[in-house]
Amino acid sequence: MINPIEGRLADLDERLFMPRELSWLSFNARVLQEAADESVPVIQRLRYLGIFSSNLDEFFRVRVAEVRRLITVSTGGKRQRAKELLETIQERVSALQKEFDRTQVRVLAELRKRHIYIIDETELSKQQMAYVESYFTQAVLPALEPILLSDEVAIPALADESLYLAVDMTTPEGSRYAVMEVPSDALGRFVAIPRGRDKQGKVFILLDDVIRACLPKVFRGVFTVEAASAYCFKFSRDAELEIETTINESLIEKMASSLKQRRKADAVRFVYDATMPETLLEHLRKRLGFGRYDSLIPGGRYHNSKDYIGFPNAGPKYLEFKPMQPVRIRELDQTDNIFDALKLKDYLLYYPYHPFDYVVDILKTAAIDPAVTAIKVCLYRVAKNSQIVDALINAQYNGKRVRVVVELAARFDEQANIAWSERLTEAGIEVIFGIPGLKVHSKLFVIDRMEAGSVVRYAHIGTGNLNEKTARLYTDFTLLTADSEICEDVHQVFEFLKYNYRRPDYKHLLVSPHTSRNGLTRLIDDEIANARQGFRAQLFLKCNNLVDRQLTLKLYEASQAGVEIKLIIRGMCSLLPGVSGISENINAISIVDRYL
């Protein structure tokens, strides 16, 4: 079996594989193309800029951090290849950032044409300044917690991906430095202000510029500020969690401890205002412990452009996408009990073109249906105010046996999932955390129902999270079925997750890590055999990412045998299509549009 590190280094062979990091950057470039597309409503274009920025933040926390670890653990030529990859990444990111800046200028200009303005503190009229000062005193100042920089006092661990202002002050006693977090999570990044006599429409100012406009007031009563300037900065830390193997802690305790360690993880990017004085930058670098120069990236005046995702539509409705009405399914709408409809046939739902309501409905119905005896479900990411969780708790209160598999290691949702597991446990629900060393990514549930004296099962098999919010944003599939063999397979998955010393024999499902690879290989081999015998041989694969080395090599083998292969890969794709003698029979596309 190939060592994971060796396999990852082998993936850097650009003759056969596109490095996954470069492929991911190509995906984010496609998101940026949506922001540049003039046929897209202008508010949505601004939000695509926010999505691009948010994606890039995660890219540094996950992908760039992994490449840095590769450099650390490898030697010789392998280390050199990883270093060259990191250099290429930095070049591509720099090019994308320049394109982002150009696109942002065009989008903001389009907003101004529609009388929506984002101004800074230097453009405020007297009336607007009075409003900003009042807002600052009432809302912003109570939320600020400035930290004075000195050699005597250690700086606490600053929050990863939060926006900070580094303040350079002149006082009668000399220069002073301070750092403060911009409280955009609590107050929002965009502050609506009076438009002034010379403007129509809506005017906004960024929260960081509100603070800049009132900077001396932050330190009033502490010392006199003769002059002050503030410069934005942020940093990204390695998001990899190290789970300790101590046996005297529960998994929740281990995860909580790992999350605390993440706050102190190595920085993979420190982005700052390029106009920041060198003395202040050097002071920050030393105080925050940034030792690697290539982690320091000069940028513009503003950071955390991901906040554009939440920019309000301050103009006509046509400035954003027209709401789409999902296609209703008559049989599911007209039935008195959704289980009656599922007895007759299976339903394949495609979100967001079909409503997610049907999935919520089946769980709500199960919670109060006297015939339902048990519900088992996997939760990976759920909505903030989850109707799914509410339905499961209601089912427990109504006497059902409810078992929930919560994946504590869902990246960036770890803290939320700890809270969900505690809430479910408090309700009396059986909560399990899967199998050590494996991430439970399944989107499954199975419902046991007594019918004519026997247990009849109903199952959900999906590609997307049981999350009513993201089901409106991403395309995903759900199969709702009462097929007894498929439902038994789903039931066996849950049995394995609880009693993992028993390995089930699945009839229909391909389940990682047991049967997925062999099952997919067998299906591809069938098409290879068809091609070699002169029969029609075709393969269609749609997935989120394709970066598995062995599967990619198998697809190359199929292409060389004459199998026609069509791929729809949303994000990362290590496979190189259309290469003579290797993959000329493979056509790969990525669909990035309104629904990501």
Q: Cite the beta strand spans of 185-302 per DSSP E.
A: 190-193, 202-206, 227-237, 267-273, 296-299
**Strands ordered across the beta sheet of 116-119:** 116-119, 202-206, 190-193
Q: What does R_g of the chain's alpha carbons equal in angstroms?
A: 27
Closest CA to 407 of 421, 422, 397: 421
Question: Considering Cα of 127, then 128, then 133, then 138, what sign does the dihedral take?
Answer: positive
User: Which single residue is written with the structure tokens 């926006």?
Assistant: 163
**Strands ordered across the beta sheet of 443-451:** 347-351, 476-481, 454-462, 443-451, 372-379, 401-406, 430-432
Three-state DSSP state, 455: strand
Q: Give the list of residues 6+ apart from residue 207 with CB closer than 8 angstroms, or none.
A: 140, 182, 183, 184, 187, 188, 189, 190, 191
Catalytic residue among 115, 283, 354, 441: 441
- CA dist 497 and 494 (Å) reads 5
Tokens, residue 526: 């069938």
Residue 491 known to be catalytic: no
Closest CA to 380 of 420, 423, 422: 420
SS (H, E, C) 342-383: HHHCCEEEEECCCCCHHHHHHHHHHHHCCCEEEEEEEECCCC
Q: Checking DSSP bridges between strand 430-432 and strand 401-406, what pairing results, if any?
A: parallel
Q: Checking DSSP bridges between strand 147-148 and strand 174-181, what pairing results, if any?
A: antiparallel
Alpha helices by DSSP H, listed for 246-386, are: 251-262, 278-288, 330-334, 338-344, 357-368
Closest CA to 329 of 308, 306, 345: 345
- CA dist 385 and 389 (Å) reads 8
Q: Which residues are marked as active site?
A: 441
